[in-house]
Structures are given as structure tokens and as C-alpha cells.
Amino acid sequence: MITSQTFRKTNSFTLAPKPGNSSELSRVFAAAVINSHFCDMLLNHPEQALQSGYFGESFSLSREEYDLIVSIHARSLSDLAAQVNRALQS
């Protein structure tokens, strides 16, 4: 019997916890994971995405977190997460 198998590429990312970092970064990434429109806006127009919030909810990012996300030019959400993670570890 011949069966077909479907392989799915999965992307995973983690944010390294650092004292003083808020859970707001997690909220930003959660919104991007569940809503492709917000994700696209976050990747292509991060200032607008962060200022607009998500479904009426605003993000209370620190100035450092906001500046970090806005300064990154990522092609995908996993790329953005990896770059944020690297920056927070340094």
C-alpha cells in the first residue's frame, strides 16, 4: 500500500527572558502569529503596527523594545524573533 505523507515546515522561536523586559513583546509576537495581516504590517511597517495595536489593544512596550522592533528589517516573523532574541541577549 502506498501512502502519502505531508511534511510541514514549522518555525519556532523563543525570546530570551531578561530582567526588566516586559511581557509586551510576547503579546506583539502572539498577535503576529495569529493574524497574518498584523504580521505583515509588523514586518513591513513596524511603527504603524505597534502604534495601531491589535484589535483595540495597545502594546505597552518600553522605549528600548519599541526602538528595537522598529530598527529591525526582517523578512519573516521567525527572522524578526531571532534578531530580537539576539539583541536582548547582548
Residue 5 lies in a domain: no
64 backbone dihedrals φ, ψ, rounded to 5°: -65, -45
Span 3-40, pLDDT tens digits = 555 545 555 544 444 444 568 999 999 999 999 999 99
Chain centroid offset of residue 38 CA: 10
Residue 37 lies in a domain: yes
pTM of the complete model: 0.74
Position with higher pLDDT, 50 vs 5? 50
The predicted pLDDT at position 65 comes to 95
Structural domain total, the chain: 1
Span 74-88, pLDDT tens digits = 999 999 999 999 998
DSSP category for residue 16: P
Residue 7 lies in a domain: no
